[in-house]
């Protein structure tokens, strides 16, 4: 029995030690907003915050996480869907299929927490998640809108 601190609550989970945190969140805790995409920390669909740091949970075994570490999933990003990024995502119609967007939002939120006014290069270099629908330009514009740095229209590239 392991204890985890997820979205501000301490929960007990029963899973084999080598189970990736992703699958503990999805299957033991029943929170399915965090997605499986590759299992090898390539695509970022499984991104959560671990003590505020964007972390790919598909490659992090349960045994490597302690109760002292604060895990935040997409379900815990904001109480009322009102994180500035979520508002920008809605305003710009960012998602298409939407599958990668939980991870995108969590990666972007960690970036803004660390760097509230990121440059375009900061964003391009930090948000490395894969989106097959190709929402990248709206992701970029959404982050800039949330950060209040958007001089450019969706799709712009310096």
Residue 62 Cβ vs other proteins, minimum distance, rounded to whole Å: 10
- Tell me the HSE value of 53 on the side-chain side, using a 13 A CA sphere: 6
- Site string (21-60) toward other proteins, x via CB under 8 A: --x--xxx-xxxxxxxxxxx-xx-x---------------
Count, residues near other proteins per rule CB under 8 A: 64
Choosing from 16, 51, 67, 114, the residue that interacts with other proteins (CB under 8 A) is 16
Residue 88 has which token pair?
């920008």
- Of the candidates 95, 89, 102, 147, which has an alpha carbon nearest to the alpha carbon of residue 129? 102
Considering only residues 109 through 128, tell me which ones interact with other proteins, judged by CB under 8 A: 123-125, 127-128
Can you tell me the distance from the alpha carbon of 115 to that of 26, in angstroms, rounded to the nearest whole number? 29
Can you tell me the distance from the alpha carbon of 64 to that of 84, in angstroms, rounded to the nearest whole number? 31
Is 155 an interacting residue with respect to other proteins (CB under 8 A)? yes
Estimate to the nearest angstrom the gap between the alpha carbon of 65 and the chain centroid. Answer: 17
Its sign, for the CA torsion 82, 88, 93, 94, is negative
Can you tell me the distance from the alpha carbon of 133 to that of 100, in angstroms, rounded to the nearest whole number? 9
Please identify which residue in the block is written with the tokens 């959404």. 142
> Considering beta carbons, is residue 67 or 93 the nearer one to other proteins?
93
- Site string (65-104) toward other proteins, x via CB under 8 A: --------xxx-xx--x----x--xx--xxxxxxxxxx--
Residue 115 Cβ vs other proteins, minimum distance, rounded to whole Å: 15
What residues make contact with other proteins under the rule CB under 8 A?
15-16, 18-20, 23, 26-28, 30-40, 42-43, 45, 73-75, 77-78, 81, 86, 89-90, 93-102, 105, 123-125, 127-140, 154-157
């Amino acid at each position: 029995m392991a204890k985890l601190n997820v979205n501000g609550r301490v929960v007990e989970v029963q899973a084999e030690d080598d189970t990736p945190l992703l699958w503990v969140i999805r299957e033991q805790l029943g929170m399915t907003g965090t997605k499986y995409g590759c299992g090898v920390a390539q695509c970022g669909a499984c991104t959560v915050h671990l003590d505020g740091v964007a972390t790919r949970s598909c490659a992090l075994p349960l045994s490597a996480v302690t109760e002292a570490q604060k895990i935040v999933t997409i379900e815990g990003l904001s109480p009322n869907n009102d994180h500035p990024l979520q508002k920008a995502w809605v305003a710009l119609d960012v998602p298409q299929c939407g599958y990668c967007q939980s991870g995108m939002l969590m990666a972007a939120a960690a970036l803004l927490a660390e760097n509230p006014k990121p440059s375009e290069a900061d964003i391009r270099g930090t948000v490395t998640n894969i989106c097959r629908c190709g929402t990248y330009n709206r992701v970029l514009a959404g982050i800039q809108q949330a950060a209040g740095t958007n001089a450019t229209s969706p799709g712009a590239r310096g």
